[in-house]
Amino acid sequence: MELKRVVVTGLGAVTPVGNTPEETWENLVAGKSGAAPITLFDASNFKTQFACEVKGLNTNEYIDRKEARKMDRYTQLALVAATQAVNDSKIDAEDLDKNRIGVIFGVGIGGIKTFEDEVKYYGLHEAEGPKFNPFFIPKMIADIASGQISIKYGFHGPNYTTTSACASSTNALADAFNVIRLGKADAIVAGGAEAAICACGVGGFNAMHALSTRNDDPEHASRPFSASRDGFIMGEGAGCLILEELEHAKARGAKIYAEMVGEGMSADAHHITASHPEGLGAILVMKNALEDSGLKPEDIDYINVHGTSTHVGDISEAKAIKEVFGESAYKLNISSTKSMTGHLLGAAGAVEAMATVLAVKNDIVPPTINHVEGDNDEELDYNLNFTFNKAQKREVRAAISNTFGFGGHNACVVFKKYAE
């Protein structure tokens, strides 16, 4: 059978650097940091007291106040991003077959704040017997965001959630891509969300020594590919892309941002949290994605890297890029938008895929901020163009986005300029 072509026809995003795709993109290109002291809970006793929070968002503009109380914060963020993307693409038009429009949304953890609140209350009142909120389970479970989005719009197509830690929403995009090109749906609302900036989330990652503890300078703490990096910054938010079969999009006159042309998946099979030091899984996932797309290494102009600002991760990913791309590695741009957004965990892949799509559309590569001249790691090759500190205008014919999750889950997606 002939595989169908898949294009991006809508975008949605609520991130630490903007509450819309437009604002997020503008601030990414400007190199603005979303890091600041934590306001969502009292972190004064925690090793890490800052994060990249969503700021100034009025969810009541998108969700009925009464309904919002039945949702965890991560589901609220998912609905906001999905609503923006659906509005952008107009995929909810009455004359479209909603039985062939689905929702595939990724999340790394799910309703962790709801879980924390309910268990904390029970622990303090155990002698009184169990008293749980009837919405405890439907607020907490990881799949509920995709369910809520489909309920809002009446989308009856494929509907489920992907969970692969930090690769979750890249896997959601990959699945959506495959579902559409196999002819099982006309369009998929695809993306991911996460809201884990709470005592459990920050405390848990602190216990693993995964987070930066640069409390005196949050804005400059996320510094991928710099020698002085000391861990990632916890972020929250949601990203959404409307993926649509090309002929379906053309028939309704949809605007097209870019074409999705490939995906790759692999496993490190190495360690529960650390990436393989030689980047074996990262090499495999990028090779798989390139093969699937039919593109050669020299066709790629930009890589939005996983780039978390951790010691092992940054080194292994850079090694993998050199292995896969060879001499072409020195001609393309590399950047980590996590230097600005922090690490959005299950939402990272979707937000970074959106940035990758916009880089392809606008021919501009957002920077990797916070690198200081001389702060070089001897294990990194600085002949690679990490796009330090300033966005770079250049032709971006095609680009890839990498995400690597705890458990050794690797996922990669490929976008290129749309042409007939």
27 is written with which tokens? 């601030």
C-beta atoms surrounding 415 within 10 Å: 31
Report yes or no on whether pTM surpasses 0.95. yes
Average pLDDT score, the chain:
97
Q: Residues 220, 248, 276, 343: which is the catalytic one?
A: 343
pLDDT at 300 over 90: yes
Residue 328 DSSP code? G
Express each pLDDT in 124-133 by its tens digit.
Answer: 999 999 999 9
266 is written with which tokens? 């692999």
Whether the Cβ atoms of residue 359 and residue 374 lie closer than 8 Å to each other: no
Q: Which domains does the chain have, with CATH numbers?
A: 6-416 (3.40.47.10)
Q: Residues 276, 306, 371, 409: which is the catalytic one?
A: 306
Q: Does the active-site annotation cover 409?
A: no
95 CB burial (10 A radius; 0-12, 13-18, 19+)? exposed
Cβ neighbours of residue 178 closer than 8 Å, sequence gap 6 or more: 263
Give the confidence band of 416 by pLDDT, cuts at 50, 70, 90: very high
Give the confidence band of 415 by pLDDT, cuts at 50, 70, 90: very high
Q: Residues 166, 198, 240, 412: which is the catalytic one?
A: 166
**Rounded average pLDDT over 245-267:** 98
The pLDDT of residue 305: 98
Strand partners, 211: 232
The pLDDT of residue 210: 95
pLDDT at 277 over 90: no
Q: Does the active-site annotation cover 156?
A: no
Q: What phi, psi does 227 have (nearest 5°)?
A: -60, -35
pLDDT at 123 over 90: yes
pLDDT at 12 over 90: yes
Rounded Cα distance between 399 and 404, Å, is 17
Q: Provide the terminal-to-terminal Cα distance of the chain, rounded to the nearest Å.
A: 21
Q: Does the active-site annotation cover 209?
A: no
pLDDT at 138 over 90: yes
* pLDDT above 90 coverage of the chain, percent: 99
Express each pLDDT in 315-339 by its tens digit.
Answer: 999 999 999 999 999 999 999 999 9
Whether the Cβ atoms of residue 345 and residue 165 lie closer than 8 Å to each other: yes
* pLDDT above 70 coverage of the chain, percent: 100
Express each pLDDT in 59-95 by its tens digit.
Answer: 999 999 999 999 999 999 999 999 999 999 999 999 9
Strand partners, 280: none
CA 322 to chain centroid, in Å, comes to 24
The pLDDT of residue 1: 82
The pLDDT of residue 382: 98
